[in-house]
Amino acid sequence: MRGVREKAKRVSADPRRRAARRPADEAASPRAVEAALPAPFDAWFARRGWSPRAHQLALLAKAEERRSTLLVAPTGAGKTLAGFLPTLVALEKQPRRRSNDAGSGLHTLYISPLKALAEDIARNLVAPITEMGLRVSIETRSGDTSVARRARQRARPPHILLTTPEQIALMLASPDASYVFGSLDTIILDELHALAPSKRGDLLSLGLARLHTLSPGLMTIGLSATVARPSELLSYLMPQTQPDDRRTMADLVVARGGAAPVIEILEIEEPVPWGGHSARYAMHEIYRAIAAHRTTLVFVNTRMQAELVFQELWKLNEASLPIALHHGSLDKTRRQKVEQAMTEGRLRAVVATSTLDLGIDWGDVDLVVNVGAPKGASRLTQRIGRANHRLDDPSTALLVPANRFEVLECRAALDAAKAGEQDTTISRSGALDVLAQHVMGTACNGPFDPDALYREVRAATPYAGLTRNRFDRVVDFVSTGGYALKAYERFARLRPTEDGKLRLSHPSLARQYRMNAGTIVEAPMIKVRLVGRRRSRKPGAPRPLVGGRVLGEVEEYFVEQLSPGMTFVFAGEVLRFEGMEETEAYVTRAPGADAMIPSYAGGKFPLSTHLARRVRAMLADPKQWSGLPTPVAEWLTLQQRVSQLPGVDDVLIETFPRRGRHFMLIYPFEGRLAHQTLGMLLTRRLERAGARPLGFVANDYGLAVWALGDLGQHIADGTLDLADLFAQDMLGDDLESWLAESALMRRTFRTVAVIAGLIERRHPGLEKSGRQITFSTDLIYNVLRRHDPGHILLEAAWEDAATGLLDIVRLGQFLARIRGRIRHQPLVSVSPLSVPILLEIGIEPVGGVTREDILRDAAAELIADATRAGNGEAT
Amino acid sequence: MRSATQRLELKPERLDVGEFSRQPLSIAGRSFVADVSGALYWPAEDALIVADLHLEKGSSFASRGILLPPYDTAATLERLAATLDAYSASTVICLGDSFHDVGAADRMSVRDRETLGILQEDRTWIWLNGNHDPKIASCFGGRVLSEITVSGITFRHEPTASPVTHEVAAHLHPAARVSFHGHVIRRPCFVANGNRLVMPAFGTYAGGLNVLDDAFAPLFGNDGLSVLVMGQEGLYPIAARLLKED
């Protein structure tokens, strides 16, 4: 670290300090519960020269009292062992005769978000179990588990089964669920902070509610990293049975934090660039930091950044340090190789995206570098937690802002970490498509009583507020499609029994369910295969392509924009796109070429609301600038002189002409997603106002709209009223009509339709070969919008989009916040603050173009061709 | 491939004014009008031709447990009615696969039947058989034929798998994937070469098959093909080099 530390300004913070004061931890005095640890365990700890940690014993004490508990602990605190200790102790204490009888039933279910994590944990558990001489059987179960083994697991369950949420749903849907789970005693939910706030978390919550019914008295143990509001997870662990809004909570154990992490913002003589995301300017420093440490994790926010940073580091890598790349698009075997090398300590650095935010513990990381802004205080804490899993050494982290706005954001994140703040998350209401899948799964298990199921579903925290009306509509959807036109009564999938229950109308529906269960609907992915050109026998003849290995996968829409000959960066090298061969993209190496395709959007996070507020406050208060690098402080001073600074609770709007276009810059600081939605809606409104908008770009901090009409003049003469332009009603009709054309909404609907079981999943390998008539969900979407606009799946898709990709909630809060607080600053030229946003033009795809325009332009191409042909030129 | 414009006999000056909703289309010397709805109008015979309606496809899926929205038949008939209003043709030729299966008659709602009856009033209605509807119930009225030749042009469901002329067929559901300036759009299209035409499917739930698929190769041989892509507001002639495979 020395190389960096000399020039870097050092700021330390301890995000865990506040957590460490929690009373639950004080209560967990090791002495009070020492008796709970049976002899083989004590002996085992002693042989290893270890002693049980306070939170491990505290959790054990809770388990003795049969209290469901959430353990919040940083990585490396022995969280997993803590989770399993109660189970191992309980099984050890059981009479021998019963515990070694494999037919005694499933005792503990361990659920993890990652299949690989479950397998890793299983391997790690075998050692202590063998060493302690415990007679405990452990198995894992996933989609890859053989049919025979799965059948055996149902007939003779192991004591401990490690699996994923999807497998739980599938097991619950089988007729023998009550046999398998009837004796269940404990459920351990790992990485709960990552799992709970998602559709997978919704599905799991419904499964938990079911398990609580099947096995009353069940104890749940949640394992989580530091979270903003543990109350969300505390209630997630418990069945909600109170008649009012009050939530039943599990107990909380917080592990004592280790040494305070050392966080620094990289500050070097080279000025931070105005825009861009590559942090190229800082590569020498990052490389020097890697060289000065044992093992470094370099976190970035997008796959594109990962590729770029990786390339840049290798350009500098004169010492040939083993530096690897890890992101979600890379081929699985490649990723596993990297993980393997990491575990074995053979790597000096890994450049990674959020794929490594959670998961398998790697002991030896002593530095975390975060390139780009951390986007949220919690994410930063989580990433820093990846360093130094030995709790007592301080984690060391280096923040590397890629542009000037990110300097502000890094500073805000650091201040937040210093204050021990976490981003607050909006509590989640359970997704309706997931509920539909669960209702179908329940019917596959056997006939169900709708009243009882409604009660059970409401016991799941995300569905605690579900109204009976909505529940009934979901059941109606599962049964007959839930259409306003009641046309499918005779094709109903659920039929009433004599005793008022609902049963599956045909056993084949259970097979259909099994094929389509789960909530992960992947965007269609294209394999990227590296091919070579065989040497041609005849000179001048085309050289045939020869297939090679698969480098990974990219989203279909990324490949769609490529034409043969274009170059892009992937899997750490510059590749030339050669063409599509069936479902694969063929590429060749293009060393030395500059990549033509600058970006693809996979895995971007919007700035958290919490950090955004801090950034605004910092901007508005020149007194705080003294802590900023000089060029950044100068930049803000210049902005103050030329224009104005955005305030904490208002919005600054600048207008200026530039190269024959008229620009409007808006600085809401509400994150990229909300800005994109705002951009879409603003261009529609400006179009209507006759301002002739041409397009817009958005980043996390603001957006730029440009037009042919003189926007500044329109505002000045009153033909364009800013209060009207930013009125909250834009979230009504304008949003509605934009969504009709929005590709994003169509993608969202497709996901919802698959999860809810309206249409079947595409199963790789099972697709018909030869010609295919593609039947897209767009057709269904169009028909529903027109003929059944109140349909429950449209409602579900809308809710998804509003909270997810469109971030309408946040945009709505913004519009409400700025009412009567819009400050307009007309300018003659570009403002300093606008530069980073304007630099996004050409990097980001420009919004605001409709499909019809594209077809019209494409047709115009043909006319141009025809005209040239008419003039005697070749087409 | 020769320039697509010659075969479609486009008049470039017309395209500039944004009049895209109807496009002239010449087949074996006869003049037709391709409509943005996906229908074909033959002014000389006052006939409207539509292909692959696939009525009751939704309920066909529903009977197998996949409960697609039950509005496809009504939606298809509604669009057909609007097109008929615009052209008030005295003859309608449906180029086969008008019904998704032979059981469609049992599943179609009374209301949709009545709508169909109203459309058939005062005009000659011809159903051609397709592979999905080898039999068409008599309750649906009209004449049922396997193919028909009118003024030298033969109308049939399945296109002849060799480079014939004077043919208007359907069955393949042609669709074009247009890649332009970084955007990709997949839409149904008319595909022709001046001698023959394959019509887009008219049915609301009818999918599309890429015109670059091998199935189209024997039809158009090496002469190349030209496409009119159906947008929401217009039909757009698109250069072959902008078309992409799936």
Q: What residue in A sits closest to B212 (Cα-Cα)?
A: A771
Q: Which residue has the higher pLDDT, A247 or A478?
A: A478
Residues of chain B with Cβ-Cβ distance to A493 below 8 Å are: 65, 67
Q: How many CB atoms lie within 10 A of CB A592?
A: 6
pLDDT tens-digit map of A465-519: 999 999 999 999 999 999 999 999 999 999 999 999 999 999 999 998 998 888 7
Q: A825 pLDDT band (50/70/90 cuts)? A: very high
Q: What separation in angstroms does the CA of A654 have from each of A306, A563, A632, A666, A717? A: 34, 38, 20, 7, 16
Tell me how far apart the alpha carbons of residues A381 and A267 are, in angstroms, rounded to a whole number: 21
Task: Report whether pLDDT(A596) > 60.
Answer: no
Give the mean pLDDT of A862-867: 64
Task: Report whether pLDDT(A427) > 90.
Answer: no
Per mean pLDDT, which range of A147-156, A279-288, A607-616 is the poorest?
A607-616
pLDDT of residue A463: 95
Three-state SS at A253: strand
Q: A813 pLDDT band (50/70/90 cuts)? A: confident
Q: CA B214, B219, B223, B225 torsion: positive or negative? A: negative
Q: Which residues of A855-867 are buried (b: 16+ CB within 10 A; e: fewer)?
A: bbebbebbbebbe
Spatial contact of B198 and B191, defined as CB atoms under 8 Å apart = yes
Per mean pLDDT, which range of A612-616, B16-20, B148-152 is the poorest?
B16-20
Task: Report whether pLDDT(A574) > 70.
Answer: yes
Q: How many CB atoms lie within 10 A of CB A452?
A: 11
Tell me how far apart the alpha carbons of residues B210 and A329 are, in angstroms, rounded to a whole number: 28
pLDDT of residue A448: 97
Under an 8 A CB cutoff, do B15 and A863 touch? yes
Report the gap between the CA of A870 and the closest CA in chain B (Å). 10
Under an 8 A CB cutoff, do B69 and A481 touch? yes
Among the partner residues B75, B180, B207, nearest to A774 by beta-carbon distance:
B207
Task: Report whether pLDDT(A706) > 50.
Answer: yes
Per-range mean pLDDT, top range of A85-89, A422-426, A799-803: A85-89
Query: Radius of gyration (Cα) for chain A, nearest Å?
Result: 29
Please report where in the chains the tokens 């019809």 appear, as a residue: A852
pLDDT of residue A774: 53
Exposed, middle or buried by CB within 10 Å (0-12, 13-18, 19+), for A826?
middle
Nearest to B196, CA basis, from B236, B175, B223: B223
Three-state SS at A272: coil
Tell me how far apart the alpha carbons of residues A204 and A164 are, in angstroms, rounded to a whole number: 9
User: Which long-range contacts does B31-38 make (Cβ < 8 Å, 24+ apart)?
Assistant: B32/B197, B34/B190, B34/B228, B34/B235, B35/B83, B35/B86, B35/B87, B35/B235, B36/B230, B36/B231, B36/B233, B36/B234, B36/B235, B37/B79, B37/B82, B37/B83, B37/B202, B38/B188, B38/B199, B38/B200, B38/B201, B38/B202, B38/B230
pLDDT of residue A93: 82
pLDDT of residue B91: 97
Residue A592, sorted as left (phi over 0), alpha (psi -120 to 50) or beta, turns out to be left
Between A and B, how many residue pairs show a Cβ–Cβ distance under 8 A? Answer: 159
Residue B9 in contact with partner chain A when CB distance is under 8 A: no
Residue B226 in contact with partner chain A when CB distance is under 8 A: no
Tell me how far apart the alpha carbons of residues A304 and A571 are, in angstroms, rounded to a whole number: 10
Under an 8 A CB cutoff, do B178 and A849 touch? no
Is beta strand A296-299 parallel, antiparallel or unpaired with respect to B47-50? unpaired
Both tokens assigned to B171: 């069955």
Under an 8 A CB cutoff, do B238 and A786 touch? no
Q: In sequence order, which residues have a C-beta less than 8 Å from that of residue A221 and are 6 or more positions away?
A: A59, A63, A68, A69, A70, A71, A83, A86, A186, A187, A188, A189, A237
Nearest to A222, CA basis, from A299, A96, A110, A338: A110
pLDDT tens-digit map of A188-217: 999 888 788 888 899 999 999 999 999 999
pLDDT of residue A228: 66
Both tokens assigned to A365: 């990381």
How far, in whole angstroms, is CA B62 from its chain's centroid? Answer: 25
% residues pLDDT > 70 (chain B): 91
Query: Where would I find the H helices in B57-187?
Result: 57-62, 72-87, 104-107, 110-120
Q: Which residue has the higher pLDDT, B8 or A292?
A: A292
Report the gap between the CA of A651 and the closest CA in chain B (Å). 33
Q: Which residue has the higher pLDDT, B240 or A431?
A: A431
pLDDT of residue A632: 86
Among the partner residues A852, A866, A869, nearest to B231 by beta-carbon distance:
A852
pLDDT of residue A397: 85
Please report where in the chains the tokens 């040239």 appear, as a residue: A868
Report the gap between the CA of A509 and the closest CA in chain B (Å). 7
Give the mean pLDDT of A97-110: 68
Nearest to A77, CA basis, from A388, A356, A381: A388
Q: In sequence order, which residues have a C-beta less than 8 Å from that of residue A547 and are 6 or more positions away?
A: A529, A531, A586
Residues of chain A with Cβ-Cβ distance to B237 below 8 Å are: 859, 862
Give the mean pLDDT of A855-862: 74
Residue type, A750: R
Residue B26 in contact with partner chain A when CB distance is under 8 A: no
Q: A30 pLDDT band (50/70/90 cuts)? A: very low
Task: Report whether pLDDT(A763) > 70.
Answer: no
Residue B245 in contact with partner chain A when CB distance is under 8 A: yes
Please report where in the chains the tokens 């020039």 appear, as a residue: A7
Residue A768 in contact with partner chain B when CB distance is under 8 A: no
What values do phi and psi take at A748, rounded to 5?
-60, -45
Which stretches of A415-498 are assigned E, i.e. beta strand?
494-496
Per-range mean pLDDT, top range of A47-56, A595-604, B191-200: B191-200
Q: Which residue has the higher pLDDT, B18 or A6?
A: B18
Average pLDDT along chain A: 80
Q: What separation in angstroms does the CA of A769 have from each of A557, A772, B84, B177? A: 22, 8, 38, 19
Residues of chain B with Cβ-Cβ distance to A526 below 8 Å are: none
Length of chain B: 246
Among the partner residues A849, A851, A862, nearest to B237 by beta-carbon distance:
A862
Residue B231 in contact with partner chain A when CB distance is under 8 A: yes
Enumerate the domain spans of chain B. Answer: 4-242
Please report where in the chains the tokens 């075997």 appear, as a residue: A333
Q: Which residue has the higher pLDDT, A454 or B239?
A: A454
Q: In sequence order, which residues have a C-beta less than 8 Å from that of residue A16 and are 6 or more positions away?
A: A74, A226, A257, A258, A260, A420
Q: A423 pLDDT band (50/70/90 cuts)? A: low
Both tokens assigned to B242: 């902008």
> What is the pTM assigned to this prediction?
0.78
Residue B246 in contact with partner chain A when CB distance is under 8 A: yes
pLDDT tens-digit map of B130-187: 999 999 999 999 999 999 999 999 999 999 999 899 999 999 999 998 877 656 778 8
ipTM confidence: 0.84
Tell me how far apart the alpha carbons of residues A258 and A15 are, in angstroms, rounded to a whole number: 11
Both tokens assigned to A767: 């697709």
Please report where in the chains the tokens 């300090």 appear, as a residue: A17
Residues of chain A with Cβ-Cβ distance to B233 below 8 Å are: 852
pLDDT of residue B158: 96
pLDDT of residue A203: 96
Q: B16 pLDDT band (50/70/90 cuts)? A: very low
Task: Report whether pLDDT(B60) > 90.
Answer: yes
pLDDT tens-digit map of A724-757: 999 988 888 778 777 766 667 777 888 899 999 9
Q: B12 pLDDT band (50/70/90 cuts)? A: very low
What values do phi and psi take at A483, rounded to 5?
-90, 150
Task: Give the CB-side neighbour count of residue A462, counting CA atoms within 13 A.
Answer: 23
Average pLDDT along chain B: 88
% residues pLDDT > 70 (chain A): 78
Residue type, A437: Q
Q: For residues A463, A467, A471 and A472, what is the CA-based torsion angle, rounded to 10 degrees?
A: 170
Q: A769 pLDDT band (50/70/90 cuts)? A: very low
Interface test with B, best of A495, A773, A777, A778 (most B CBs within 10 A): A773
**3-state secondary structure labels for all residues of A796-848:** HHHHHHHHCCCCHHHHHHHHHHCCCCEEEEECCCCCHHHHHHHCCECCECCEC
pLDDT of residue A592: 65
Give the mean pLDDT of A252-276: 77
